[in-house]
């Protein structure tokens, strides 16, 4: 149970982030839902959590901006005075073969997926160090573990998340803070709904369990890593991918 814990989930207006926010709230955490563009969807997540008796706050912030993240965490600290759990989930794709990839598409993906996580950890770790406790969970990807043709920017950002996770785990362990990553395989969200049926079929063939994951599959692992039960786990990247990376 996460009763009374203060949790920030980035990119929680849709998909995996939404499922993580709902799960953490169901476990008793007060959840701060960060969104960038999808205000209406974020409002719906808030309504859903409140309808089940949960406590939630919405904050708009583009995680790719250092200043925007600073403001978000100032607001959280002003209202709640502490941060127990950070889930770095916000992410985008801009796929294409590297030879044709624009600098803008490379930068946009790295700025959101990797630098966004750096920004959030930068501000949250200060509060967690003072508290001498905390849980940081970074969402990587099977693409960061194995590489994936057509996703040089995305795979680089997600492999970067793995290095960031292991390094932060080492830097923060002595302060009672754990830092872990989750590497999802293909999960049924808007990010993968854009794939053609042929690509989805080919992808499914690479998954030993024979199906795409559900956002809840990832949320269950995030809730476990955020809990007391995971107190002795740090610096790990846990694949939740139906066996794809075996």
Binding site for ligand NAP (CB under 6 A): 10-11, 13-17, 34-38, 62-64, 89-92, 112-113, 139, 141, 184, 186-187, 189-192
Residue 35 is among the residues annotated as catalytic for this protein: no
CB-wise, 160 or 175, nearer to ligand NAP?
A: 160
- φ/ψ bin of 172: left (φ > 0), alpha (ψ from -120 to 50), beta (otherwise): alpha
Q: Write down the least CB distance from residue 98 to ligand NAP, Å.
A: 18
Question: How many whole angstroms from its chain centre is CA 39?
Answer: 18
Phi, psi of 79 (to 5 degrees): -80, -40
Q: Write down the least CB distance from residue 81 to ligand NAP, Å.
A: 24
Number of neighbouring beta carbons within 10 Å of residue 9: 34
Q: Where are the alpha helices (DSSP H) in 173-230?
A: 190-193, 197-205, 215-226
Q: Write down the least CB distance from residue 88 to ligand NAP, Å.
A: 8
CB-wise, 38 or 220, nearer to ligand NAP?
A: 38
CB-wise, 133 or 148, nearer to ligand NAP?
A: 148
What tokens does 239 get?
A: 């694949």
Nearest of 10, 29, 27 to residue 161 by alpha carbon: 10
Identified catalytic residue from 35, 154, 224, 232: 154
Active site residues: 154
């Amino acid at each position: 149970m996460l009763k009374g814990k203060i949790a920030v989930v980035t990119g929680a207006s849709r998909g995996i982030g939404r499922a993580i926010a709902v799960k953490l709230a169901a476990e008793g955490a007060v959840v701060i839902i960060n969104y960038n563009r999808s205000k209406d969807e974020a409002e719906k997540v808030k309504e859903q959590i409140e309808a089940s008796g949960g406590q939630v706050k919405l904050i708009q912030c583009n995680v790719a901006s250092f200043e925007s993240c600073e403001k978000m965490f100032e607001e959280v600290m002003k209202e709640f005075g502490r941060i127990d759990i950070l889930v770095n989930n916000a992410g985008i794709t801009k796929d294409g073969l590297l030879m044709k990839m624009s600098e803008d598409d490379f930068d946009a993906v790295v700025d959101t997926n990797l630098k966004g996580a750096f920004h959030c950890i930068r501000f949250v770790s200060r509060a967690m160090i003072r508290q001498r406790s905390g849980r940081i969970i970074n969402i990587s990807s099977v693409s960061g573990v194995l590489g994936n043709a057509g996703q040089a920017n995305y795979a680089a950002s997600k492999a970067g998340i793995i290095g960031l996770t292991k390094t932060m785990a080492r830097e923060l362990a002595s302060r009672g803070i754990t830092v872990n990553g989750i590497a999802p395989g293909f999960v049924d969200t808007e990010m993968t709904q854009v794939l053609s049926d042929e690509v989805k079929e080919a992808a499914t063939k690479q998954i030993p369990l024979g199906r795409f994951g559900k956002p809840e599959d990832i949320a269950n692992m995030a809730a476990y890593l955020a809990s007391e039960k995971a107190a002795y786990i740090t610096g790990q990247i846990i694949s939740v991918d139906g066996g794809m990376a075996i």
